[in-house]
Amino acid sequence: MENQEKKHKRRVRYSGAYPKNYREKYKELQPEKYADTISKVIQKGSTPAGMHLSICVKEILDFLKIQPGQTGLDATLGYGGHTQKMLECLQSEGHLYALDVDPIESEKTKERLQTLGYGPDILTVMLQNFADIDQVAEETGKFDFVLADLGVSSMQIDNPDRGFSYKTEGPLDLRMNPKKGISAAQRLKDISAEEFQGMLMENADEPYAQEIAWEVTDRLRRGEEIATTTQLRQAIEAALSFIPEKERREAVKKSSQRTFQALRIDVNNEYEALYSFLEKLPEVLAPNGRVAILTFHSGEDRLVKKSFKRFYKEGIYKEIANEVIRPSQEECIRNSRARSTKMRWAIRAD
Digitized pLDDT (tens) for each residue of the chain, 350 residues in all = 444 444 555 555 555 555 555 555 544 555 555 555 545 554 554 545 455 578 999 999 999 999 999 999 999 998 889 999 999 999 999 999 999 998 888 898 999 999 999 999 999 999 999 999 999 999 999 999 999 999 877 666 777 878 888 888 999 999 988 888 999 999 999 899 999 999 999 999 999 999 999 999 999 999 999 999 999 999 999 999 999 999 999 999 999 999 999 999 999 999 999 999 999 999 999 999 999 999 998 889 999 999 999 999 999 999 999 999 998 888 888 877 788 899 999 999 99
In the prediction, which pLDDT does 42 show? 47
Kindly state whether residues 61 and 103 are assigned to the same domain.
Answer: yes
Residue 41, pLDDT score: 52
CB 199 within 8 A of CB 176: no
Same domain, 149 and 232: no
> What local confidence, expressed as pLDDT, does residue 11 receive?
53
Residue 242: CATH number of its domain: 1.10.150
Q: Which of 239, 245, 244 is nearest to 259 (CA)?
A: 239
| Distance between CA atoms of residues 267 and 178, nearest Å | 11
Tell me, yes or no, whether 79 and 131 share the same domain.
yes
97: enclosing H helix or E strand: strand 95-100
Q: Are residues 286 and 146 in the same domain?
A: yes
pLDDT at 165: 86
What CATH number does residue 142 fall under? 3.40.50.150
Q: Of 227, 252, 267, at which residue does a domain stop?
A: 267
Contact 206, 218 (CB under 8 A): no
183 falls within a domain: yes
Residues 279, 317 share a domain: yes
How many domains does the chain fold into?
2
Query: Residue 194: what pLDDT?
Result: 97
One DSSP character per residue, 237-268 reads HHHTTTS-HHHHHHHHHHHHHHHHHHHHHHHT
Instruction: Tell me the per-residue pLDDT of 100-140, one tens digit each, with 9 for 90 and over.
Output: 998 888 898 999 999 999 999 999 999 999 999 999 999 99
Q: Are 263 and 278 contained in the same domain? A: no
Is residue 169 in a domain? no
Residue 113 lies in a domain: yes
CA distance linking residue 61 with residue 81, whole number of Å: 12
324 and 240 in a common domain:
no
| Range of the structural domain that residue 313 is part of | 57-154+271-348
Q: Is 50 inside any structural domain?
A: no
118 and 85 both lie in a single domain = yes
Question: Based on the domain organization, do 285 and 258 belong to the same domain?
Answer: no
Q: Which of 243, 267, 291 is the last residue of a domain?
A: 267
pLDDT of residue 102: 87
- The model's pTM is 0.81
**What pLDDT score does 163 carry?**
82
Q: Is residue 30 part of a domain?
A: no
Residue-wise pLDDT for 143-181, tens only, equals 999 999 998 776 667 778 788 888 889 999 999 888 889
Residue 123 is assigned to a structural domain of this protein: yes
Q: Assess if residue 47 is contained within a domain.
A: no
| Residue 198 shares a structural domain with residue 139 | no
Asked if 221 and 148 sit in the same domain, the reply is no
In degrees, rounded to 5, the angle at the alpha carbon of residue 91 between the alpha carbons of residues 88 and 93 is 130
Beta strand residue intervals within the chain, DSSP E: 71-74, 95-100, 123-127, 143-149, 285-295, 317-320, 342-348
Structural domain includes residue 114: yes
My answer on whether 277 and 147 are in the same domain is yes
